[in-house]
Structure 1
């Protein structure tokens, strides 16, 4: 991805999904690539899947930041 070979990166990540279907970081990275390509619907889909897979707190914060750059702040109804 750092070389901006997004199509190649997505191809590898699609294959990786088959071997590690519950790895949230794979979906988060795919979301980031789709976001960079201005494919916001696909980005949100993959960020949502990543969040559903219960990533670490650090990864959750990173994913939410990526989402906020697309749609603005996320409002949640979490009870403390």
Structure 2
């Protein structure tokens, strides 16, 4: 099974990092799409982790992971 997750990292008004994740982002998502989404989140103040405003965009990454399960008899 393959899993794909977008991690967007921000800083809040206290300077603490917070990460917003999106499972299964579109396969054709571009860097500019991610930048635009992160700027929109920051500008519109959509999320307030622990009650504090997001003030800075920090980084983003997409992680692709493959999981192989085995049915083992123990």
TM-score, normalising length from structure 2? 0.32
* Structure (1 or 2) with the larger CA radius of gyration: 2
Structure possessing the higher relative contact order (Cα contacts under 8 Å, 6 or more residues apart): 2
More strand by share: 2
More helix by share: 1
